[in-house]
Amino acid sequence: MRKIAVLVSCYICATLSAQTESDALFMAKRNLCGGFVYGNTSWKHYWEGTFYRDNANIGSFKSNSVMAMANYGIGNGLNLIASAAWIDNRVTAGTLIGQKGIQDLNVFLKKELLTKDIKGFNSSLVAVGGVSTPLSNYVADYLPISIGMRSKTASLRLLADVQKGHWYGTASAMYTRRNNVTIDRNAYYTTRMIYSNEVALPDLFSYNIRLGWRDGADKYYEVTADRMNSLGGFDIRKNDMPFLSNDMESFRVGVNIKYPVPRVSGMSIMAAGMQTLAGRNMGKATTLMAGVVYQGEFKKGDKK
């Protein structure tokens, strides 16, 4: 069997924060923000279970993506967020054929539950509910080249944000429920032989911490750390290929920056970098992202 590694892109879309589902920033009522983000992820070493290794049969893994995203202010403290990505995955050695295409549609409803001043700290509590569904019939059972898991999901995130002056901290936790997926074979082996074309994916739990400085929603500098782990699954067997129901875990750190474009009202540029420090059945990935977003009034006469 070829020696190949594993990639999970379940939460790459949350790396940049521009009034997204992972921050406490909101669009005003009837305001619309949209933009595009380019991302590049690469790794050469990976964890086969807990064993850290490289693989001459695939060389380095490289992924390029373009994500379109939009955020609409339904009401003050209530936002609708949507995103979708086109992804191109390749390896630099071996015979594995690269995969590319449109991945999944992600839709989130973000609601501010409460906001309160506590001894000079502006504090808020936010709830975010989300769903995702595949936008194309891409091949899921082809890791690490697959562009996604092709599973319909539902998620719930709770988020707390505290700010004093321009300094702030944000902490959140998210649970993601994943539906079963079907694959193009009638039997497969996990820790036992299963005679079916249906695979049960373990659910996911993740948390995120952000610390930084911000001046409104259009200018901030922050450091971030996040952890994701599957609630079940099994390790990649020695020298075997990864599988959809593997136990996948990762811990990443990074930086996010957003800055308004001079003399162009409503337009901002964003940049981010993330590094995986620890993992299980994952690549030790470096991710770099950059994008541009534009915010404007959806209806003339509304308050900005």
DSSP 153-168: EEEEEEEEEEEETTEE
- What CATH number did the domain enclosing 56 receive? 2.40.160.40
Give the pLDDT of residue 20. Answer: 78
Give the pLDDT of residue 216. Answer: 84
Please state the domain count of the chain.
Answer: 1
Q: Which two tokens stand for residue 239?
A: 């020298």
Quick one: how many helices (H) and strands (E) in the chain? 0, 18
Dihedral pair phi/psi, residue 12, rounded to 5°: -65, -35
Q: For the chain, which residues score pLDDT lower than 70?
A: 1-19, 298-304
Q: Which two tokens stand for residue 164?
A: 């004093």
The SS3 assignment for 13 reads: helix
Residues 125-162: tens digit of each pLDDT:
999 999 999 999 999 999 999 999 999 999 999 999 99
- Residue 149 resides in a domain: yes
Give the pLDDT of residue 76. Answer: 87
- Residue 3 resides in a domain: no
- Residue 302 resides in a domain: no
User: What is the rounded distance in angstroms from the CA atom of residue 216 to the CA atom of residue 295?
Assistant: 13
CB-based burial label for 165 (10 Å; 0-12, 13-18, 19+) = exposed
The SS3 assignment for 14 reads: helix
Residues 222-240: tens digit of each pLDDT:
999 999 999 999 999 998 8
- Residue 278 resides in a domain: yes
- Residue 1 resides in a domain: no
Q: Which domain holds residue 266?
A: 12-297
Q: List residues bridging with 272 in a β-sheet.
A: 256, 289
- Residue 6 resides in a domain: no
User: What is the rounded distance in angstroms from the CA atom of residue 6 to the CA atom of residue 283?
Assistant: 6
- Residue 304 resides in a domain: no
The distance from CA 213 to its chain's CA centroid, rounded to whole angstroms, is 22
- Residue 256 resides in a domain: yes
CB 37 within 8 A of CB 17: no
Q: Which two tokens stand for residue 97?
A: 């054929």
